[in-house]
Structure 1
Amino acid sequence: MRRATAIGKKVKAKSSSMKDLISESKSYDREGKIIKAIRAQNAFLPEESKFKKYQKMAQSPYIFYRGTNHLFWQDFAGSWRLHQFGGSSWSRTWLQGDSHVYNMGAFKHQGENVCFGFDDFDDSLVADYQYDIWRFAVSIVLDCWDRDLNNSDEIDSALNTFSRSYLLNFRKTIKSKKLFEKRFTSANTCKPLASFLNKTQGKSSRRKMLEKWTSGEQDRHFQLNSEKVRALDIPRREQLIDALANYRARRNKFMGLEQTDKPMEILDVVERLGAGTGSLGNRRFYALVRDIDKQTEDHDFILDIKLQGQPTAYGYLSEEETKEYNDNFASHAVRHADAYTALSDFPDHHLGWVSLENESYSVRERCPYKRDFDTSKLSSKEFLLMAAQWGEVLALKHRRAARRLNRNQDSSPLEKKLKDIAENHLWEFKFFIRSLAQPYAQQVRRDWDAFRLNADTLVAQ
């Protein structure tokens, strides 16, 4: 008994020195961790850019979601959920990395019709295909809420349509030629999307873009606008022009491509301001360029030069995945170019990269036809048509990228496995996506509420 009493006294003495594990605990402080993560993610931004970004994010849970891709990766990277329908070497492909409804839109490059698909590869990387599906599915829920559609059954119907469309596309065997030539145009897409693509084709052109952004003809130059572009000081201007002068030749040499002598004249360079949501505040430039050997109205175009940091997911990858990334890409801008080549419908002949002050910048043509697809006026029926279209587009991108990654134009392990899942586990796959998307969207809304309560404090720090 004495021994027991002594032990009891020791335990009591130890207990009296313990901290309060309930009221003082930060273990489950989601709000505090969210605010800390947002603060860290945007610490490098100037106060003005930070203010503009936070203003955008405060508008709705969906815009907040678009501006906080890092929270998605923080919550899902390496999740046990991956292993139900992937989580293995076969399930890896090039990802868009920030997939959501408004990251698919219209675009057009050299000699093609206006197409629909991804045209933003800043966050692209090689990882499990499910990350793109999960993030896109959550965005479907948030987009519905933005349109005041709150009926859970209707939202589930859209999620079912999206996931079913994605998976069933892998039941079909597609020959290499057809797979790599397929485009989503007004000729082969659903009615609301076809109408949008036709309008974009009719309303947009390179000449209209140049009239919006530039002045003059022979001595064409950018129109300075304090909200969108501003002039560069002379040292930065000269540095950028020097970097661009031979970027195509350096790119071709690095990639082992045939050297082509296509002279170009750089007419003007400016800094681009206020673009994007997640990338708002990142250093970005526009260059006005003239192809000297072209004698048509298309001989002038705009290059978009954008600072490329590590993709958002990078900070949440496993040690093995981080090493693979570092071993395979000479810079973040080279990774961007590789992703663009793997995921895009056709090449941008101006795609490349430059180095400025030891930082890597992607180079690509500013597309005159780039335009977001507005979902705000869609009927319930039209939204379901678009959900099926989004699933089909995402499946094609993943499938094509997996073959390129596998260095096999005819097939890939990803296709074979997803064909089996489509044939034998379609119901379970749809249920899984539903059970993930709506609850996580609700968490995004709670995180958004916490953000709005702390937004003023975040700007000041």
Structure 2
Amino acid sequence: MEDISTDCYSRDAWELIQAFNSQRDRQVLIQKYLKMRKDAFTFFRGTCHLFYQDLPRSSNLNLAPVVWICGDLHVENFGTYKGDEYAHQSKLYQRQIYFGINDFDEGVAAPCTWDLARLATSILLSAVSLSLEQAEGQNLVRVYLDAYTSTLNAGKIYPIGDANARGVVADLLDSLQQRKRSELLDKYTELIKNQRRIEIDDRQIFGVSSHQYELVSKAIDEWAQSQTDSAFFEVLDVGFRRAGTGSLGLDRYLVLVTGKGSPDRNYLLDVKQQQSSCLQPYVTIPQPAWANEATRVMEIQRLVQFAPPALLATVTIADRSYLLRELQPMQDKIALKSGSMSMNSLKKLISTMGEVTAVTHLHGSGKLGVAIGQDLIEFSNNLDWQQEVITYANIYVRQVQIDYQNFCEATKYL
């Protein structure tokens, strides 16, 4: 096999990062950059564009079957959500809680190994943050790739839910069953004369201007007219939300709607601006002519998930496309923290992530021109690509660490 290697080198990563983010809100960007200074893994999360800029065009990683990929796959882009009750014909799965990939902002049709190489790199970087031995990090990458391979080879498509989850994922799903909508509402809103209003804390939730309020309310109202119960989506309040890492600096709104009634049966909507995938400049495979970027994200999510999240839709605000989804009580992610779980529990979690990745790739197979399931099964029978992924991940970790040091030096006075 061709040896995939790249020379790690010092460069002005800060200049590249500034250029990529030049169109985003400057004030919010400062918060993003301060967050990225935490460690090399968080820096990696915020620089997906550098990963694909650096991926060699001649690499054998580009020869794998083309699937619908997440694009920005890393260990903290997995989480729980309640599926859309209309998303699957079987009543067995209606409104169940699932564990899966929770962010498709960068999704495109690309070689499946692009997802795998980025996830493997994230495992090695998070292993450093978790103070694991180098051999333990390498072993976790093997666990992930073996789970991905065996799931592909079986060729079966199924959701990860409370019936088949293991370890910390099973514990998380079980704990979420007890969460109530009122608890989520209490987190983001305050009661004023038995009516809820979004609570502005000036840290994660900020006030909006009257003009922004009008634009968002109008967009939600226009979309609601196409829904069965438009009164459900009557806007009660709007706030500006800061969340995530890579997407910081883009517009994101928190919208409180009437739902099934005030005060404890109101619903919260997350309305997030979408821009073109940072993978787009590096993808040579023809992509569908999506109506807009929010439609791309929504449609890819529908293609690859067994049951997409509830209320997944798109709206247009001031000629920009936004992805709309329900903010759910059952929505959560597993944040990896040093000492938070045993090595055995960590292996089960990483194995589940490998399983989820394979099921996601299989579920989207054969749709809109990507590889069919049989192609993926045959791919799983030849394991040479596993070592290529491992080799590249180990090389790229060193590049991330070099770029991270450059970034920290350049931003020390922010």
Residue 146 (str. 1) matches residue 115 (str. 2): no
Letter matched to residue 312 of structure 1: C
Q: For the residues of structure 2 that align with 1:298 and 1:431, how far apart are their CA atoms?
A: 52
What does the per-residue CA deviation read over 1:143-180, in whole Å, with 9 as the maximum and x for residues that have no partner? 111111132x3222211221111112122243xxxx3x
SS of aligned partner of 2:146: helix
- TM-score of the pair, normalised by structure 1: 0.79
Residue of structure 2 in register with 1:303 after alignment? 269
Query: Which of the numbers 358, 366, 369 marks the counterpart of 2:330?
Result: 369
> Is 1:452 aligned to residue 413 of structure 2?
no
Contact 1:78 1:317 (8 Å CA) reproduced? no
| Amino acid aligned to 2:71 | G
State the shift of 1:396 in Å. Answer: 0.2
Q: Are residues 297 and 188 of structure 1, via their aligned partners in 2, closer, same or farther at CA, if it must alter by over 3 Å?
A: farther
Amino acid in structure 1 at the alignment position of 2:213: R
For normalisation by structure 2, the TM-score amounts to: 0.88
Structure 1 equivalent of residue 378 of structure 2: 420
Counterpart code for 1:277: T
Matched, 1:236 2:212: yes
Task: State the match for 2:223 in structure 1.
Answer: 247
Map 1:218-229 to 2 at 5 A: 219-229=195-205
Task: Give me the whole-angstrom Cα distance separating, in 2, the residues matched to 1:48 and 1:413.
Answer: 42
Task: Measure, in 1, the Cα distance between the counterparts of 2:311 and 2:324.
Answer: 7
The answer to whether the 8 A contact 1:165-1:391 is kept is yes
Alpha-carbon distance in structure 1 between the residues aligned to 2:230 and 2:16: 46
Corresponding residue for 2:68? Answer: 94
Aligned match of 2:303: 342
Compute the displacement of 1:130 (Å). 1.2
> How many residues matched?
395
How far apart, CA to CA, are the structure 1 residues paired with 2:42 and 2:374? 36
Q: Which amino acid aligns with 2:318?
A: E
Q: Is the 8 A contact 1:219 1:267 kept in 2?
A: no
Q: CA deviation at 1:297?
A: 7.6
- The percent identity for this pair of structures is 26
Within-5 A mapping of 1:392-431: 392-405=355-368, 413-423=371-381, 425-426=382-383, 428-431=384-387
DSSP-derived class of the 1:310 partner? coil
Take 1:312 and 1:228, find their aligned partners in 2: how far apart are those partners?
Answer: 25
Change (3 A) 1:162 1:140: same
Q: Does 2:147 match 1:162?
A: no
With over 3 angstroms needed to count, the CA separation of the structure-2 counterparts of 1:58 and 1:160, relative to structure 1, is same
1:222: Cα distance to partner?
0.9
- Deviation, 1:123, is 1.3
Q: CA deviation at 1:36?
A: 2.0
Structure 2 letter corresponding to 1:118: I
State the 1:30 CA deviation: 4.4
Aligned to 1:260: 228
Contact in 1 for aligned 2:67/2:109 (Cα 8 Å): yes
Q: Secondary structure in 1 aligned to 2:386?
A: helix
Q: Is the 8 Å Cα contact of residues 159 and 433 (structure 1) preserved in structure 2?
A: no
1:187 corresponds to which of 150, 160, 163: 163
Give the whole-Å Cα distance in 1 for the aligned partners of 2:138 and 2:183.
41
Task: Note the residue ranges of structure 1 that are not aligned, 5 or more in a row.
Answer: 1-27, 251-258, 407-411
The structural deviation recorded for 1:79 is 4.2
Q: Alpha-carbon deviation of 1:226?
A: 1.3
1:223/1:456 CA distance change after superposition, 3 Å: same
Considering fraction of residues, name the structure with more helix: 1
Distance 1:305 1:333 in 2: 10
- Does 2:129 correspond to 1:129? no
Shift of 1:224: 1.7
Per mean C-alpha deviation after superposition, the further-off stretch among 65-74 and 155-164 is 155-164
CA–CA distance in structure 1, aligned partners of residues 174 and 274 of structure 2 = 33
Deviations 1:231-282 (A, max 9, x none): 22222211211111021455xxxxxxxx63543311111211x311111121
Distance between the aligned counterparts of 2:353 and 2:72, measured in 1?
A: 14
CA RMSD of aligned residues (A): 2.4
Aligned mates of 1:311, 1:402 — CA distance in 2: 20
Q: Which runs of 5+ in 2 are unaligned?
A: 1-6, 85-93
Secondary structure at the counterpart of residue 34 of structure 2 = helix
